[in-house]
């Protein structure tokens, strides 16, 4: 039973963005979109027996999620550095 509890804690860590253990809505949305893409892409690949090209809508959405996350990290670091200078 201890192994099951460890796996649940490990899974919950994917949704936590801070040390308090609270789930991040941004992280949940990121994982939901990524899971949707992977599920639908693999399903189409299996049914068609080929690797189909990725639709531009998925490319834009996945790039946007990565870009927003990167921008968020950049602006948080910049704000923390600016606060340290004053």
Domain ranges of the chain: 14-85
Global pTM reads: 0.57
**10-19, 21-30, 70-79 — most confident range:** 70-79
Instruction: Look at residue 18 in the predicted model and tell me its pLDDT.
Output: 65
Question: Hunting for tokens 């399903």 — which residue is that?
Answer: 43
Chain mean pLDDT for the chain:
80
Average pLDDT over residues 32-61: 88
Question: How many Å apart are CA 78 and CA 57, to the nearest integer?
Answer: 31
Instruction: Look at residue 48 in the predicted model and tell me its pLDDT.
Output: 93
- Look at residue 83 and tell me whether its pLDDT is greater than 80: no
- Look at residue 2 and tell me whether its pLDDT is greater than 60: yes
Question: How many Å apart are CA 29 and CA 32, to the nearest integer?
Answer: 5
Interacting residues of 68 by C-beta distance below 8 A, sequence separation 6+: none
């Amino acid at each position: 039973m201890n192994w099951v509890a460890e796996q649940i804690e490990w899974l919950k860590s994917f949704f936590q963005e801070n040390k308090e253990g609270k789930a991040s809505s941004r992280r949940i949305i990121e994982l939901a979109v990524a899971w949707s893409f992977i599920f639908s892409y693999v399903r189409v690949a299996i049914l068609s027996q080929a690797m189909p090209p990725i639709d531009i809508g998925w490319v834009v959405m996945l790039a946007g999620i990565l870009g927003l996350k990167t921008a968020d990290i950049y602006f948080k670091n910049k704000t923390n550095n600016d606060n340290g200078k004053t």
